[in-house]
Amino acid sequence: MMSGQTQPNDNDKENKECFVLDASFFIEIPEALEFLNNSECYTTPSIYEELKSLKAKAMFDAIKPKLNSPREDYIKKVKEVVKATNDKLSPQDIEVLALALMLKDKRKNVILLTEDYGIMNVASCLSLRTKCFVNKGIKDFYVWRKRCAICGRLVKKFISECPYCGSKKFCYVPKRHKS
């Protein structure tokens, strides 16, 4: 465990609201600092490593979130949902979702702060609450389907050539599901 990392404690108050912060929170919304109002905040070491600008790092230092790595079983759960929705998420995105899920199992009021629609989509499938400040957020979740760019037919996501027309060009189209 990296210096500064903490493990969530089973004795933490279950009803206390806590926030899990994605890198987009530090990068895109420095004015949201007041919103946190000394709340309990968490993020992962990989999110900290993603921060490049001095402004984002200063925001991180001002908030002082607890650094915590999610357990592997939570990472696996998130990866299963990502595979089902076909969202394109980075390892850092998967870790921050896994951390939120792990904390949710320990307390009731976990809110994931992010501006990333892919993270919001997967969070919705995992019944995680999200909040964003710049974007509208999402009401429903989406599963991304692979479609041939030439003939327009839906194809299985693992193929590299369309079985109908032979094209190797594909795009992904969303299929909306009610949350």
pLDDT in tens, 108-138: 689 999 988 889 889 988 989 998 876 565 5
**155 has which bridge partners?**
146
Strand 129-131 to 66-67 pairing? unpaired
**Gap between the Cα atoms of 75 and 77, Å rounded:** 5
Quick one: tokens of 166? Answer: 């032979």
- pLDDT-derived band at 103, boundaries 50, 70, 90: very high
> Could you tell me which of 60, 109, 84, 114 has the C-alpha nearest to residue 97?
114
**Gap between the Cα atoms of 10 and 77, Å rounded:** 21
Q: How many CB atoms lie within 10 A of CB 163?
A: 10
- pLDDT-derived band at 62, boundaries 50, 70, 90: confident
Average pLDDT score over residue span 10-19:
64
3-state secondary structure at position 12: coil
Domain 18-131 in this protein, CATH class: alpha beta
| Rg of the chain over all Cα atoms, to the nearest angstrom | 18
**pLDDT tens digits, residue range 89-98?**
999 999 999 9
12 pLDDT above the threshold of 70: no
- pLDDT-derived band at 107, boundaries 50, 70, 90: confident
pTM above 0.75, yes or no: no
**Mean pLDDT of all residues belonging to the chain:** 81
Quick one: tokens of 43? Answer: 């993020």
**pLDDT tens digits, residue range 64-87?**
999 999 999 999 999 998 888 888
pLDDT at position 79: 95
* Torsion 127-129-135-138 (CA) sign: positive
pLDDT at position 136: 61
Question: 3-state SS of the chain: helix, strand, coil percent to 5?
Answer: 40, 20, 40
List the chain domain ranges: 18-131, 140-178
pLDDT at position 10: 47
**172 has which bridge partners?**
146
Average pLDDT score over residue span 27-33:
70
